[in-house]
Structure 1
Amino acid sequence: MTELTLDERLRLTRRTMQLLEDWGLAARDIAGLLQLPETIKARHIGRFHDQDVFPDDPAVNRRVAYLNRIEQALHTYFPRNPEMRKLWVRRANKQFGRRAPVAVMIEDGESGLISVLSHLDCTFAWDLTGSRADYRRAS
């Protein structure tokens, strides 16, 4: 988020907080999922919804970017049904060992975010494996 203006960072923070609240995450889960610094207590998480921006930390920025891409992928899967987006995230999924995607993200941290994003967005998985680079060399 370093290259974003303060207003852009505030909009991104609010949008991310709204997404996490729509998924039903508690403040402690939000702090853990975003890997917020330990100086930010769970009772202060509400400030991000109202006035503060997320810390400009590489780990936080990366996780916010993953969440943003997950949200975009869910919009692609369910373009006209926001309730299905929320339901998909909270419902047990065979792909994740009968765990809900939101549980995978919370319990597994960054690797959980990557797993969920890879499941939803094949282009992300393609880029991760290096297949894209191999394809360019072959053509």
Structure 2
Amino acid sequence: MTQKMNLEDRIALTRAIVGLLDSWGLGAAEQIALLALPEGTRPGAVRQYRQSTPFPESAQLMERIEHLIGIADALRTSYPHNAHMGNIWMNRVNHRFDNRTPLRAMLEDGLGGIIAVRTHLDCAYDWHISGSGAKPG
């Protein structure tokens, strides 16, 4: 995805994702961990991402970003009249995630945790990955 994006679009995407993670209450070190940014990425890099530095080009990073966008979209759909409810939901203990918050599950379980949160929120995505959806003809 990033290979097809120009620099301006990559910067806009980076800012949007950092803003999303900020809104969920994640600190810089947690954002680096959640996004699986390259080893050695310092928390100060997040400040640069907020300004004008795009994320590094990486298929692994883009996969996580696509799931995070899917989570954000599902939260907006679930709580269309209160934008703050999605942030509250992400930080509320949930039995589905072994009595952890969805954010804690994503941080502790990595990509698997991110996918688990998305599947819980987004029944269309869950239907798609379960193979139950209609196959393209």
| Structure 1 segments of 4+ aligned residues over 3 angstroms from their partners | none
State how 1:1-139 maps to structure 2 within 5 Å. 1-132=2-133, 135-136=134-135
2: distance between equivalents of 1:16 and 1:4? 15
The Cα of 1:11 is off from its aligned counterpart by: 1.0
2: distance between equivalents of 1:44 and 1:10? 13
Write the letter of the residue equivalent to 1:119: H
2: distance between equivalents of 1:11 and 1:80? 25
2: distance between equivalents of 1:68 and 1:42? 22
1: distance between equivalents of 2:31 and 2:52? 16
Write the letter of the residue equivalent to 1:8: D
Calculate the aligned-residue CA RMSD, in Å: 1.5
Write the letter of the residue equivalent to 1:73: A
1: distance between equivalents of 2:37 and 2:47? 13
Task: Give the share of equivalent positions with the same residue, in percent.
Answer: 35
Runs of at least 5 residues in structure 1 that lack an aligned partner in the other structure? none
2: distance between equivalents of 1:79 and 1:46? 30
Runs of at least 5 residues in structure 2 that lack an aligned partner in the other structure? none
SS in 2 for 1:2: helix
**Residue-by-residue CA offset, 1:83-115 (whole Å, 9 max, x unaligned):** 111100000011112110011111111000000
What is the TM-score with the length of structure 1 in the denominator?
0.92
2: distance between equivalents of 1:3 and 1:79? 31
Write the letter of the residue equivalent to 1:109: G
1: distance between equivalents of 2:30 and 2:3? 24
What is the TM-score with the length of structure 2 in the denominator?
0.93
**Residue-by-residue CA offset, 1:13-33 (whole Å, 9 max, x unaligned):** 111000101111111111111
SS in 1 for 2:80: coil
